[in-house]
Amino acid sequence: MYVYDSIDQRVVDERVAQFRDQTARHLAGRLSEDDFRPLRLQNGLYIQRHAPMLRVAIPYGMLNSAQLRKLAFIARVYDRGYGHFSTRQNIQFNWPELARVPDILAELASVQMHAIQTSGNCIRNITSDHFAGIAPDEIVNPLTWAEILRQWSTLHPEFAFLPRKFKIAINGATADRAAIQVHDIGLQAVQADDGAIGFKVLVGGGLGRTPIIGQVLREYLPWQHLLSYLDAILRVYNRFGRRDNLYRSRIKIQLKEQGLERFLAEVEQEWSWSKDGPNTLTEAEVQRVASRFTQPAYRNLPASCEALQVQLVQDRSFAAWHRRNVHPHRVPGYAAVTLSLKMTGVPPGDATAEQMDAIAGLAERYSFGEARVTHEQNIVLADVEQAALHELWQEARGLGLATPNIGLLTNIIACPGGDFCSLANARSIPVAEDIQRRFDDLDYLFDIGELDLNISGCMNSCGHHHVGHIGILGVDKHGSEFYQVSIGGAQGEQASLGKVIGPSFGAQDVGAAVERLIACYLEHRDSDAERFIDTVRRLGIEPFKEYVYGKSHSSRTHRERQLASA
Amino acid sequence: MANLIRRGRIESGNWPRLDADGLTALATQKQGERDSPAGVLIPFELWRSKHDLCATLGTEVGVLIGDDDDLTEVAAHLPHAGLIAVHFPRFTNGCGYSIARLLRGRYGYQGELRAVGDIMRDQLFYLGRVGFDAFELRDDQDCEHALNAFSDFTHPYQASSDEPVPLFRRRVG
Ligand code: SF4
């Protein structure tokens, strides 16, 4: 966890004062709604369907227990007792009162948090791998770099009014857990043969209306040049990105229209004058930032814990949870744990104030007082002793945070959708719940195996449906809610975009369509080891299409056939 | 109405934007008859083609540039420009921030750089940082109040035209 110094603190304090003044002017009628809108958006404040919505930044997903308690406090005092963790490592409050938002920001500032640039056409919250710093497959710890980027992007004077929003993600492990291929800029930290750190720079990825996988702009950028190079990319975008058409205003469209070569030439040209200038990062700065991160005081433990092995044999439910929700750690004797915010019946990513307080307690007792938010809308306790896992599991279960579904179908990623979001075509939450209920049987769920199911309420794709193995998108048909289903999307190193299987479904039929997709998969997979996505890749979407829309026997669900043969 | 902030001071007087006809009209007025404005803003292309005429106006001339002007062309003519105004069609269009940064940083422009168009109090801090030293505020803006905007933040992180050395190089220790 990065700890602010007095300068960092002053920046967020002054931001609160600035926004307090803006809000006061707006409420006094001296700042029109049109003028206020872009300003409030840059502080994460939307005016939503029912009330304002405030999006708070959780930079690269890191939280400490004091911050979690503060979020719980805000949920309780300023909202309706819960918050929603989004797919970009933010938390959203759905019911704050406009006049009190400056107070909420002041509360946040008191625990080194803010809502700066969580919306608006500016550089958004920097996201990263939720296992950063602890993953066994890590090459470079991205946290220091993510914080350097946070500071660089915070109140950047040149890039506050870009053509459109701009999202940057950074990853440092071999597995890509930061979805760098679907960001405006994706950075993969790499280590050269001589040990020097650098970054592979991807640009122009993104979801939304025109989903595109990012292209490599530079295979290796030495770390010293990180900021000047990003400045150059942003400057080329800020100058030549399109402002005449909202749907063509992302950098991915600029890249598509210009072609990679020309875009690259422009960036290089732009970079040529600022390269090696004062923005060149220094060893001292990297050290300074790195040293302001708290370091967990790991104990010397054996790599494998005997008590744990016994518990795994004795307790089947615990073993199921361990299999899905416990992840390897680079330090012997430790593990990372995902607390699932995907219990059936609760909107994906929602946590109550009580749960947040409780998670703060768990973090303190089991994980050096820190927690992380994942882009899959769950919470990770990153540094748990293996010997304590069973105890932690029991506590988490009591809190409704131990659903053993990480990586499985019911770990649904979903945006708030039509229940909250004014842009939505359709609701996401009831669809998620319906699907979760259909797959509530744990044995069945485990048998289906790894599957990402993502739901967005509209083309803005906040639920990342394009990269779900199964993606569901809310569409509007003659004023009623319909859902388009796609399959074959994936995040990570093998990122791909899903293909639509056919005509959309009414709300009451989506769940059944998902069941048929799964039945088709179970029938066609060549072994338990072949995941849903692998089968789709091997066979293409045709068999699935037929299975779902065909009138033959095959349209009966797996369950129906099980029942029929029982 | 006073709506111009120049180098930290409030000034009154509107600087009209001239098109080709306006320029000819002003130039052909007799010296004594001139109801001279404090200054005029002339679009870059016009200014470039009528450079000599512009020099005879007997009033301050600002070269007005927008998003579409080719900055390398502008840069080539910088030595002749005493004042450059960058037009912001809407305050949410931030192209002008990069134009300013380039004029100051890359092309070494040291004359007055004025932000005009849809300019309000809440942009001034950033505008000042990227190199503007004059601001023609929208009519509904309170200039006195707007002056406070320049001190909204004490220690910004980034390097820019006002402070070419980023905070991290001054922070260590
Ligand atoms: S995807 Fe659409 S409906 Fe869902 S949160 Fe984003 S904008 Fe709202």
Tens digit of each residue's pLDDT (9 = 90 or more) over A506-539: 999 999 999 999 999 999 999 989 999 999 999 9
Residue B139 belongs to domain spanning: 4-27+38-169
Q: Determine the residue among A158, A266, A276 to mutate to test chain B binding: the one whose Cβ has the most chain B Cβ atoms within 10 Å.
A: A158
Any idea what DSSP says for residue A13? H
Residue ranges of the domains in chain A?
6-109, 127-290, 306-398, 413-565
Q: Do B92 and A38 touch (CB under 8 A)?
A: yes
Name the pLDDT band for A559 (thresholds 50, 70, 90). low
Q: Is residue B32 part of a domain?
A: no
pLDDT at position B33 is 64
Is B156 within 8 Å of chain A by CB? Answer: yes
Q: Is residue B33 part of a domain?
A: no
Q: Do A157 and B164 touch (CB under 8 A)?
A: no
Question: For A484, what's the count of Cα atoms within 13 Å in the CB-facing half-sphere?
Answer: 20
What is the DSSP annotation of B109-171? --SEEEEEES--GGGHHHHHHHT--EEE--TT--HHHHHGGGGS-SS-SS--SS--S-HHHHH
Name the pLDDT band for A210 (thresholds 50, 70, 90). confident
Name the pLDDT band for A553 (thresholds 50, 70, 90). very low
In angstroms, what is the span from residue A463 Cα to ligand 1's centroid? 7
Instruction: Tell me the fold of A306-398.
Output: Sulfite Reductase Hemoprotein; domain 2 (3.90.480)
Which residues from B are below 8 Å from A157, CB to CB? Answer: 97, 125-126, 129-130, 156, 158, 160
Could you give the angle at the alpha carbon of A232 between the alpha carbons of A230 and A238, nearest 5°?
Answer: 100
pLDDT tens column, B123-156? 999 999 999 999 999 999 999 999 999 999 999 9
Same fold, A6-109 and A306-398: yes
Atom of ligand 1 nearest to the CA of A422: 8
In angstroms, what is the span from residue A368 Cα to ligand 1's centroid? 35
Q: Is the CB of residue A421 below 6 angstroms from any atom belonging to ligand 1?
A: yes
Q: Is the CB of residue A462 below 6 angstroms from any atom belonging to ligand 1?
A: yes
pLDDT at A441 over 60: yes
Q: What gap in Å lies between CA A485 and CA A482, rounded to an integer?
A: 10
Mean pLDDT, all residues of chain A? 94
Q: Do A14 and B125 touch (CB under 8 A)?
A: no
pLDDT at A94 over 60: yes
Mean pLDDT, all residues of chain B? 91
Instruction: Provide the number of structural domains found in chain B.
Output: 1
- Percent of chain A exceeding pLDDT 90 equals 90
- Chain B residue with the nearest C-alpha to that of A29: B140
Q: Is the CB of residue A461 below 6 angstroms from any atom belonging to ligand 1?
A: yes
Is residue A154 within 8 Å of residue A144, measured between CB atoms? no
Atom of ligand 1 nearest to the CA of A418: 3
Q: Do A161 and B91 touch (CB under 8 A)?
A: yes
Which residues from B are below 8 Å from A224, CB to CB? Answer: none
Any idea what DSSP says for residue A179? -
pLDDT at B82 over 90: no
Instruction: For residue B110, give the CATH number of its domain.
Output: 3.20.20.70
pLDDT at position A455 is 97
What is the DSSP annotation of A428-449? SHHHHHHHHHHT--HHHHHHH-
| CATH number for the segment(s) A6-109 | 3.90.480.20
Q: What gap in Å lies between CA A168 and CA A239, rounded to an integer?
A: 19
Q: Is the ipTM of this complex over 0.85?
A: yes
Q: Is the CB of residue A416 below 6 angstroms from any atom belonging to ligand 1?
A: yes
* Two structure tokens written together for A480: 């009623």
Q: What's the Cα-to-Cα distance from A130 to each of A74, A191, A493, rounded to whole Å?
A: 24, 20, 16
Tracing tokens 């049109």 back to the chain, one arrives at A34
Per-residue exposure over A466-501, b if at least 16 CB sit within 10 Å of its own CB, e if not: bbbbbbbbbbeeeeebbbbbbbbbbbbeebbbbbeb
Name the pLDDT band for A554 (thresholds 50, 70, 90). very low
Question: For A461, what's the count of Cα atoms within 13 Å in the CB-facing half-sphere?
Answer: 18
Q: Is the CB of residue A71 below 6 angstroms from any atom belonging to ligand 1?
A: no
Is A7 within 8 Å of chain B by CB? Answer: yes
Q: Is residue B17 part of a domain?
A: yes
* Two structure tokens written together for B159: 């390097």
Name the pLDDT band for A555 (thresholds 50, 70, 90). very low
- Percent of chain A exceeding pLDDT 70 equals 97
Is residue B84 within 8 Å of residue B103, measured between CB atoms? yes
Atom of ligand 1 nearest to the CA of A474: 3
pLDDT at position A295 is 94
pLDDT at A566 over 70: no
Instruction: Tell me the fold of A127-290.
Output: Sulfite Reductase Hemoprotein; domain 1 (3.30.413)
pLDDT at A53 over 70: yes
Nearest chain A Cα distance for residue B44, angstroms: 17
Is B68 within 8 Å of chain A by CB? Answer: no
Q: What's the Cα-to-Cα distance from A172 to each of A49, A125, A141, A143, rounded to whole Å?
A: 38, 17, 6, 9
pLDDT at position B157 is 97
A369 or B29, which is more confident: A369
Q: Which CATH class is domain A413-565?
A: alpha beta
Could you give the angle at the alpha carbon of A247 between the alpha carbons of A483 and A239, nearest 5°?
Answer: 150
Q: What gap in Å lies between CA A108 and CA A18, rounded to an integer?
A: 15
Residue type, A543: P
Q: Is residue B72 part of a domain?
A: yes
Q: Is the CB of residue A463 below 6 angstroms from any atom belonging to ligand 1?
A: yes
